[in-house]
Amino acid sequence: MLTGTSILGARRGSQTGATFHGINPATGEELQPAYISASAEEIDAAVKLAEEAFASYSKLSNQKRAQFLRSIAEGLESIRDQVIERANLETALPAARLQGEMARTANQMRLFADVVEEGSWVNACIDTADAERKPLPKPDLRSMLQPLGPVVVFGASNFPLAFSVAGGDTASALAAGNPVVVKAHPAHPGTSELVGNVIRDCVKANGLHEGVFSLIFDSGIEAGTRLVKHPLIKAVGFTGSLKGGRALMDLAASRPDPIPVYAEMGSTNPVFILPGAIEQYDKIAAGLTGSFTAGAGQMCTKPGLVFLPPKDESANLVADLRQRVADLPGFTMLTPGIAAQYRRGVTQRSGADGARLVSGFAPDSGGAGTTAALLEADAEQILNQPELSEEIFGPTTLLVRYSSREQMLEAARGLEGHLTAAVLGTEEDLATHQDLIAILERKVGRLIFNGYPTGVEVCHAMIHGGPYPATSDGRSTSVGSQAIFRFARPVSYQNMPQLALPEALKDGNPLRLLRKVNGKMTQDPIWG
């Protein structure tokens, strides 16, 4: 059933060329079939098809676009077991986790379908004319969001479904009315093809232009580079490493016409344990261990830096954490390369960088197998060695005991941008730490109280973003309904007759949108 070829609209890519294989990280076994890297011509063809598709897809009715997104959700669910089986083989992520991710991916498509069907997301604004105004008559002006054009989406290694071929970037870009070309992550090509086939079938079944969706395979960075530099590409979605994301940012910024890059590049997600929380040390130890080892620590929201009250106060918590980490079974990571990088990172941090290994970690485990590692450092060290707060992708976290409230605040002030920060404590702690909250508000996209950062709710109020280096663009979110705003731009129409106005802006308000008319939000039509 799997062909190993790229999807170029309605046709398939060449069956010859350089090949690569998915690898079962648990066994090191090569998975069949071989995948063929797309050629420069194929990439160009996919982008040109996307550009061709834009004319009709961008004007598709809200209802039909919503129907298309829902059909993808249904299509995914119809081959759920097959997808999960393949994803498990390619990533070693447990079936239970993949089931949750599959549900999330389908629900995400449905959330965007709802947003598109309701339609008010386009932010329709109407200022009506006033011919009598002095000194000059006031023109009629109407604005709304319009899609950008073909979007490239890069699949992520750590979420083979929710941040890959049919993930949040694809869903939001399609929802906004943009054709999408996905560059599959080479670590899970089979999963990508299965999901890509579903979207391709839905394009056809919904009678859409074939160019609405293509899927490109490549083992290296060539195809991605070519896509980001392609003159017809208008935006980029990416989830992955800081190094990879920054490379795409620099590439896009150096184009003759720079384009937006939405790169979610992970972070260390600092956790602040305030004095009042420490009584419940066993609950915290359990919650924290669960969070930093979830998905073998391969989550962009993994809490990798934990600030604790001074030594005596947090002794029980540290002892409990040490025991829990010592008791953990081993993990199989996504790829042997990621595992090797994890081991190097922990070895470096607990060696040359001067942090102490508190519990866990067997540096000799080979292949994709590895073990969790609990590290500790002094607050002084964190202040002087900012590299200690950089992300190590994998099941490790760094405990830092602050010696005073002022030192904790200083450490917070020194933080770079992160996706999240969490504060554990009583309401009383919170009342006496408003200064900490004010500092963290500027550093993150999401601020959590008495909870852990993993588990990103897909809803309207979710912001999965944060200042650089957490993301390339701290004004955006890659999860939740607001992700749609990334792939649209406002256009204003001046004195345009009804016949040439988009439906969203017509006097009669045929779409029944909530619109801003002369400064007031209303669903009423405009009376002539």
Q: Which residues are catalytic?
A: 264, 300
Question: Residue 447 belongs to what H/E stretch?
Answer: strand 446-449
Q: Residues 260, 297, 309, 395: which binds a copy of itself (CB under 8 A)?
A: 260
State in angstroms the smallest separation of the CB of 338 from a copy of itself: 26
HEC secondary structure over 71-108 = HHHHHHHHCHHHHHHHHHHHHCCCHHHHHHHHHHHHHH
Burial label for 297, CB within 10 Å (0-12, 13-18, 19+), is: buried
Site for a copy of itself in 185-244 (CB under 8 A): none
| Residues 335-348: b if buried by 16+ CB within 10 A, e if exposed | bbebbebbbebbee
Q: How far apart are CA 525 and CA 24, in angstroms?
A: 58
352 binds a copy of itself (CB under 8 A): no
455 binds a copy of itself (CB under 8 A): yes
472 binds a copy of itself (CB under 8 A): yes
Q: Residues 13, 149, 150, 240: which binds a copy of itself (CB under 8 A)?
A: 149
State in angstroms the smallest separation of the CB of 430 from a copy of itself: 5
Number of residues that bind a copy of itself (CB under 8 A): 79
442 binds a copy of itself (CB under 8 A): yes
Site string for a copy of itself, 417-436 (x = CB under 8 A): x---------x--xx--x--
* CB-CB contact of 179 with 212 (8 Å): yes
460 binds a copy of itself (CB under 8 A): yes
* CB-CB contact of 490 with 123 (8 Å): yes
Site for a copy of itself in 172-191 (CB under 8 A): none
State in angstroms the smallest separation of the CB of 249 from a copy of itself: 6
Site for a copy of itself in 498-517 (CB under 8 A): 499-500, 514, 516
* CB-CB contact of 514 with 524 (8 Å): no
User: What SS3 state is found at 29?
Assistant: coil
Q: Residues 160, 168, 270, 465: which binds a copy of itself (CB under 8 A)?
A: 465
Residue placing its CB nearer to a copy of itself in the complex, 142 or 226? 142
497 binds a copy of itself (CB under 8 A): yes
Site for a copy of itself in 74-133 (CB under 8 A): 100, 114, 120, 125-127
253 binds a copy of itself (CB under 8 A): yes
CA dihedral 240, 468, 410, 306 (to 10 degrees): -20
Helix, strand, coil tally for the chain in percent (to 5): 40, 20, 40
Total length of the chain: 528
